[in-house]
Amino acid sequence: MFTSISFSICIISFFYTQAQVPSENPVTSPLIAEITEDHPLFLFSCNVQSSDLEKVKNQWDSLENSLKPFSALWVDLGSNVILDPGKTEDLLNDIFRDFRCPFVLKIPQIMNKEICPEHHEFESLFVRFPNMIGVSIHDFTLNLYPSLQYGFSPDCSHVLWVSKLIQVLASYGRFLYWCMDSLEWAHFFTNPVGEPLFNTMRKYADYVIPSYRYNGDNSVVGLGEMLGLYVLNIVNRYGIVCGSKWYHENYIIEPCLFGKPPEGTISIYSPFYRVMILNGVLAGSLVYAFEDENAMWAGKEKIHWERTIQPTLRELITGNYIPQKNLILQRINTGLQLFPSSNLLEFQQNLKEIDSQRNEGRMIQIVYGDTSYGKLPVIVPDNGRSYIIPVIPSFLGREEMNLLPNIVGYRPSHPEWTWTQVVSNTSQPVGEGDAFITNIGKTIFVFNSNEYENNQQTFQILNLPVPVRKFNATRSAEGVVLKWPFREGDISYQVYRRTPPDTSFQLLVRGLDSREWKDTAVLPQQTVAYSITALTSEQEPFSGTVNCGEYLVFSSVESRIVEEVVLAPETFVAESVPIMQSTGLINEQKVCNDPADELELTQKGQIVEIKKTMEVLESAFIGRNTESIVNLFDVSCKDALGRGIDYIRAGLELFFCQCPYPKMIWQIRRWLFITNPENQTQVKMVVFLRMKGYRVSDNLGIKGNIPIDILAGSDGEITFTWVLQDKQWKISQIEPFLFDVKQCKVFLDSPYSVE
């Protein structure tokens, strides 16, 4: 029996009300034609019980009016209802009985062919519900390969099912919204089984909207995969999916605090929603989805909506930030074509370039300056000098990629290439400083590129439009009159207004050629604030800093807002004053205090040496150097069962033989100094410790990139006891003991070795 429904709001430019007639030659529907740089599509998650369908209407009504004309529902009926097409129709009819709006139907599972709906069932839904504008899929994967050793060939019936689905959707003028993370898109782009489906996607480019789903890998790769499809006209639009799941799956509690999050934790540092959106904007994404209902306007954690998501989406719509495809093509000149992969080891050749979590990720390290080596998710690259390199499917021939002059990778346009050469060919700096700075078209992006520390980063842009300053407002019976000074380089003006306590400005009028404007829509008892911007040739340098969580956007043609004039109800005349610049949301997060702050001076000197030894341990772990790690232990180190150095050595060797690119994440929690009966100082260090990596294959060599994770204790915390021996700090005890069989079952039960 069906128990729950999940809805999402998708912002579109009009209500779709006419059913499309099936045809051999589909015609682009008005809806799809309206998803453009000026009319993006947004998707917002919302769950409702089947017994409480009124919640859908209530939530729709509570969505702000400025977004409603662009809105539709994204409906998730769940796998149980998919098994009963009649129940699907009845339920949808109950939902839309009292109000009408477009919706997209979510198909939660397609990998299980027993529950995949028949295609004719969609056709009947299109006839019954003319406001159904498309369907979406989310669990597609081609991370399955034949096993020659065991004579196994994976069932790929879902590939044919999706191919047929695209054709049916196109014949009715509907679209497929297709979500995957960067790794799954790479599998699809290189697995020979996927080529027929790829050709179907290309044939029906207007009716497939691929989407990159943030999942904790380098976002620049996922965006590059979407960009490759977009600039080569494989599809005509693509999207991104923003959510918090990747945040806590990578053991991030909040910036600069790592650990195992409390059970049921769903929150995320609010500004990360902004940077996920802006990442898509700078890459030309036209569809933006949000998975977490609790982060929306009616959710339990609506602070994310109020402070970050809603203002950023307003800014996206009014600012016209999304670049047109021709501007993107002017910005890029190089693409990476992936290598075809008929098995898991061949696929590793691609990961060597694009994935620093599971392999070297040489492109990430060299082109984008990532120094984390895949230890933590990288949402913002360290630098933006090379923009985003499109990642191209292996199925395309050189003649099909003539829009990009330089192709590296599988079919390079020149016989020898290195990533250093690519950097020299793609680097186009638009500013200076240690922040991420890049531009596309008329828009300049400045992001703090360190998501996990409270570090300020500097930036300097040599030429930005000069802001409008020294303007005034006068209140009269008819409204508020604004006036501003003459400047020779000004072309036209925009007027913005905000109503305190709202901190974001709303565009009132654009393209004014006079230096005076009257607002007749303001009430006498209202407190209002106004600002003026100009399209201008007046230029000035601009520099500053960005904190963790600050992601700035500037126009190279329209001046920024730096002053406002505020009119209280009793105020009749006022002059503009500078706006206090934001310091980000840094004060909302827990301050990460250094646990060494309370220690004595002598103790601080000792822990400096211990931390250096921990860094040696980390380097040895990443380098898979067992003996270097073992040498850091005291020879008498044993656990309660009497297991000592030999046991640790065996556990490390077993881990390393299966995990070619291990990572180690650690963060010190507290220190404790103890003097034992022999008058020897022991230093206890409580630390969050996570050792992670990926096996190349499962036992049968069929499925790849199997995660391995060693997490000490129930909360990820472990206590190292250090003693000083011959002027070197050694580990004399670990609690709980590392490489316990119960902790390591995830990899101990497999004989598979990558060596």
pLDDT tops 90 at residue 109: no
**What local confidence, expressed as pLDDT, does residue 30 receive?**
61
pLDDT tens sequence across 310-355: 989 888 888 889 999 999 999 999 999 999 999 999 999 999 999 9
Nearest-5° Cα angle at 36, 33 to 38: 130
Question: What is the C-alpha separation between 429 and 218, in angstroms, rounded?
Answer: 21
Q: For residue 21, count other CB atoms closer than 10 A to its CB.
A: 12
* Among the ranges given (35-39, 386-390, 416-420), the one the predictor scored with the smallest mean pLDDT: 35-39
With 90 as the cut, is the pLDDT of residue 91 above it? no
Most confident of 41-55, 282-296, 402-416: 282-296
pLDDT value for 81: 66
Confidence of residue 56 (pLDDT cuts 50, 70, 90): confident
Residue 585: per-residue pLDDT = 41
Q: Which of 84-93, 398-407, 652-661 has the lowest mean pLDDT?
A: 84-93
First to last CA, the chain: 49
The answer to whether residues 448 and 551 touch, using CB atoms and an 8 Å cutoff, is: yes
Query: pLDDT (tens digit, 9 = 90+) per residue, 540-587?
Result: 999 999 998 999 999 999 999 999 999 998 889 999 999 976 544 444
Q: Rounded to whole angstroms, how far apart are CA atoms 216 and 583?
A: 26
Contacts of 580 (CB under 8 A, 6+ apart): none
C-alpha span between 335 and 314 (Å, rounded): 32
Half-sphere exposure of 467 (CA within 13 A, CB side): 17
DSSP string covering 643-674: --HHHHHHHHHHHHHH-SS-EEEEEEEEEEEE
CA-wise closest residue to 643 among 724, 739, 728? 739
Which tokens is 218 given?
């380098």
Helices (H), 355-411: 362-367
Going by pLDDT thresholds of 50, 70 and 90, the confidence category of residue 236 is very high
Q: What is the pLDDT of residues 360-385, one digit of tens each?
A: 999 999 999 887 778 888 899 998 99
Looking at residue 34, its pLDDT comes to 82
511: left (phi over 0), alpha (psi -120 to 50) or beta: left
Q: pLDDT grade, residue 217 (50/70/90)?
A: confident
pLDDT band, residue 88 (cuts 50/70/90): confident
Query: What confidence category does residue 722 fall into, taking pLDDT thresholds of 50, 70 and 90?
Result: very high
**Each residue of 175-198: pLDDT tens digit?**
999 999 999 999 999 999 999 999
Encoded tokens for 424: 């020299």
Closest CA to 201 of 240, 173, 159: 159
592: number of Cβ within 10 Å:
15
The closest alpha carbon to 735, from 640, 651, 596, belongs to 640
Span 585-605, mean pLDDT?
A: 71
Surface-to-core class of residue 441, CB atoms within 10 Å of its CB (0-12 exposed, 13-18 middle, 19+ buried): buried
DSSP string, 600-614: -HHHHHHHHHHHHHH
Q: For position 19, what pLDDT does the model report?
A: 35
Q: What pTM does this model have?
A: 0.91
Residue 560 corresponds to which tokens in the numbers above? 């920024």
Comparing 712 with 479, the larger pLDDT belongs to 479
- Residue among 402, 388, 393, 407 nearest 323 (CA): 388
DSSP H stretches of helix in 361-418? 362-367
- Check: CB of residue 167 under 8 Å from CB of residue 201: no
**pLDDT given at position 409:** 94
Alpha carbon 414 to chain centroid, angstroms: 33
Q: What is the pLDDT at residue 82?
A: 66
Kindly state the average pLDDT of the residues 501-526.
Answer: 91
Instruction: Give residue 14's pLDDT.
Output: 35
Answer whether residue 143 shows pLDDT above 90. Answer: yes
- Residue bearing the bigger pLDDT, 615 or 93: 615
Cα→Cα distances 611→372, 431, 604, 628, 691, Å: 18, 36, 10, 16, 17
Which pLDDT value is given to residue 1? Answer: 33
Length of the chain (residues)? 755
Percentage of residues of the chain with pLDDT beyond 90: 51
Within 10 angstroms of residue 15's Cβ, the number of other Cβ atoms is: 16
- 16-34 confidence digits (pLDDT tens): 333 343 444 444 556 777 8
Pairwise pLDDT comparison (725 vs 238), residue with the higher score:
238
The predicted model gives 455-463 an average pLDDT of 93
Q: Are 224 and 389 in contact (CB under 8 A)?
A: yes
Could you tell me if 45 and 7 are in contact, meaning their C-beta atoms sit under 8 angstroms apart?
yes
Residue 7 has pLDDT above 60, yes or no: no
User: To which H or E segment does residue 277 belong?
Assistant: helix 271-282
220-245 mean pLDDT: 95
DSSP string, 462-503: EEEEPPP-S-EEEEETTEEEEE----TTEEEEEEEEE-TT--
Residue 85's pLDDT band (boundaries 50, 70, 90)? confident
C-beta contacts of 145-149 below 8 A and 24+ residues apart: 145/191, 145/341, 145/342, 145/343, 145/344, 145/347, 145/701, 145/702, 145/703, 145/704, 146/342, 146/343, 146/702, 147/700, 147/701, 147/702, 149/700, 149/701
Three-state SS across 195-248?
Answer: HHHHHHHHHCHHHEEEEEECCCCCHHHHHHHHHHHHHCCCCCCCEEEECCHHHH
Sorted by where each starts, the structural domains of the chain and their CATH numbers stand as 4-323 (3.20.20.80), 330-426 (3.30.2330), 454-588 (2.60.40.10), 601-748 (3.10.450.50)
What mean pLDDT do residues 410-418 have? 85
Task: Say what the pLDDT of residue 201 is.
Answer: 97
